[in-house]
Amino acid sequence: MATQVNVKSPKMFALVLMIGGFMGLFSETALNMALTDIMADFKVSAATVQWLTTGYLLVMACLVPASSYLIKWFSTKTLIVSGILLSLLGVVIGALAPNFGLLLLGRLIQALGTGILLPIMVTVLMLIFPIEKRGAVMGIMGLVITAGPTLGPTLSGVIISASSWHYIFWISAVLYLVVLGLAFTNTENVGEISKPKIDILSICLSTIGFAGLIFALSSMAEAAFTNVIVWLPLVIGILALIIFVVRQFKIDSPMLNLNVFKYPMFVLGAAMVFITILCILSTGILLPLYLKGALLFSSVIAGLTLLPGNAVNLVLSPVVGSLFDRFGARYFGIIGYLLMFIAAMTFALIISASTPVWAIILTFMVLFFGITMVMMPAQTNALNQLPHDLYADGSATITTLIQVGGSAGTAIAITLYTTAMKSFGAANPNASQEIILSHGVQFTFFFITALTVIGFILSLFVKKQKSV
């Protein structure tokens, strides 16, 4: 079966998808630099305000599995335009929100749009470019996937310093209008509309499962594990996901074809992507809190502190993509996770209320050097193992794992951060808030360090195989 679909302008098609994907992923973390301002404006706690990020990721995690249905029921162009329109509506609501509830609603609506766009981006790129160019193309896509959430705090810091956090949404609205115009003229329908039977029960099970897990993890920031608000959603979520998985193997038209997990290199690649996104989103919410709350940096200085690390990602992603076509994913994964381990361990050891800014900048650069070497090669190598008819399911699966990993990473990071601060504050009642906050961030980086060790072990088993 042919693995390439001919379109008039593959580059412009890809550009529309990547801009839309970038905007959605940028929005995952764009408010992280504004969290302290939003907490002050709406009088909410850190555990509450983190739902602006966690809720966004959670909606995407629940929606993305159903994308395999959407792609087979609606034309590509219809889905792209719909995703952009929903995103536009969400950012306008966020910009105008007079209270935290409406701000969260706007975020959730925008997440619906991003949840439609992201799986389409991966699937279309795998279809409209030949296999010998996929490494370079997916390298650019890897740039989008990592640069979006990592540039969020940097760019939003500059915006906040110049005006207010509301303008993060207004600027996003203008960009969505631009990409909407491009979508009408540069996208085409690819793939076949087969309109399979929709399994409502599978949709409900996956939604309940992912929502239960993430809600439980997020609730642990303010409640003990023995509290019913933690353990009950956790148990329900796990049971729902187990039933969901079993059901996918038993029905004729599964919502998510889990046969993708029959391919060992796909499993390894998906696991490495999951671990890496855990690291990205955990770091993405911790460092802005640390830079503003412990080092007392302004939004713009905090954002600029993270800029060199983001620049490493911007420069290296296309290079890594091109080199992947020659060398495969194995060595990139091994070296990448070693660099991530060094950076995470360094953060865990040096973070304090008086850490020099050059050390933060340098360590963050090393971290993203490693992330860039892992993310795209792992994802591309995983998808290359699948036959043509499983691309949509493979991309939906990986995109789901990215969103679940992102929301879980954010929730776990905030939970560990909050727990460590409470414990340290109780043991050291005379300690300043800056010292207490630094301890919370430092403790959480040991968790990130452990993740990099797991990723490194997985990378040792990666092999480059020819696409099916």
Asked whether 237 and 213 are in contact (CB, 8 A), the reply is yes
Q: What is the mean pLDDT of residues 414-421?
A: 87
Q: How far is CA 140 from the centre of its chain?
A: 16
Q: Looking at residue 197, what is its pLDDT?
A: 77
Sign for the CA dihedral angle at 418, 421, 424, 426 comes to negative
Asked whether 392 and 364 are in contact (CB, 8 A), the reply is no
Count other C-beta atoms under 10 Å from residue 15's C-beta: 15
The more confidently predicted of residues 127 and 213 is 213
Q: How far apart are CA 48 and CA 104, in angstroms?
A: 10
Asked whether 214 and 51 are in contact (CB, 8 A), the reply is no
Q: What is the mean pLDDT of residues 108-124?
A: 82
The more confidently predicted of residues 43 and 439 is 439
Q: How far is CA 266 from the centre of its chain?
A: 19
Any residues with CB less than 8 A from the CB of 392 and at least 6 apart, and which?
Answer: 67, 68, 71, 72, 119, 123, 191
Q: What is the mean pLDDT of residues 270-290?
A: 88
The more confidently predicted of residues 391 and 111 is 111
Q: How far apart are CA 49 and CA 55, in angstroms?
A: 10
Share of the chain above pLDDT 70, in %: 90
The band of 49, judged by pLDDT with boundaries at 50, 70 and 90, is confident
Count other C-beta atoms under 10 Å from residue 322's C-beta: 14
The more confidently predicted of residues 452 and 200 is 452
The pLDDT of residue 86 is above 70:
yes
Q: What is the mean pLDDT of residues 343-348?
A: 96
344: tokens are 């995470």
Cα–Cα distances in angstroms (integers) from residue 71 to residues 9, 55, 117, in the given order: 21, 24, 11
The pLDDT of residue 330 is above 60:
yes
Q: How far apart are CA 466 and CA 125, in angstroms?
A: 18
Query: According to CATH, what is the number of the domain 10-187+255-459?
Result: 1.20.1250.20
Q: How far apart are CA 42 and CA 61, in angstroms?
A: 27
Any residues with CB less than 8 A from the CB of 357 and at least 6 apart, and which?
Answer: 295, 305
Q: How far apart are CA 417 and CA 422, in angstroms?
A: 9
Q: Give residue-wise pLDDT tens across range 241-265.
A: 999 989 988 887 787 788 888 888 8
Share of the chain above pLDDT 90, in %: 25
The more confidently predicted of residues 399 and 282 is 282
Q: Looking at residue 467, what is its pLDDT?
A: 45
Q: Looking at residue 386, what is its pLDDT?
A: 84
Residue 189: name the closest of 76, 356, 57 by CA.
76
Asked whether 272 and 459 are in contact (CB, 8 A), the reply is yes
Does the predicted model carry a pTM greater than 0.75? Answer: yes
The band of 1, judged by pLDDT with boundaries at 50, 70 and 90, is very low
> Residue 315 carries which side chain, given as an amino acid letter?
V
The pLDDT of residue 133 is above 70:
no
Greatest mean pLDDT range, 311-320, 400-409, 446-455: 446-455
Greatest mean pLDDT range, 123-127, 394-398, 427-431: 427-431
Q: Looking at residue 468, what is its pLDDT?
A: 44
The pLDDT of residue 466 is above 60:
no
Cα–Cα distances in angstroms (integers) from residue 69 to residues 163, 411, 434, in the given order: 42, 28, 49
The dihedrals phi and psi of 121, each to the nearest 5 degrees, come to -55, -50
Q: How far apart are CA 107 and CA 256, in angstroms?
A: 26
The band of 221, judged by pLDDT with boundaries at 50, 70 and 90, is low
Q: Give residue-wise pLDDT tens across range 137-161.
A: 766 776 676 677 777 777 887 888 7
The band of 7, judged by pLDDT with boundaries at 50, 70 and 90, is low
Angle of helix 100-128 versus helix 391-427 axis, rounded to 10: 140
Angle at the Cα of 276 (from 3 to 273), degrees rounded to 5? Answer: 25
Any residues with CB less than 8 A from the CB of 185 and at least 6 apart, and which?
Answer: none
End-to-end Cα, the chain, rounded Å: 10
The more confidently predicted of residues 408 and 356 is 356
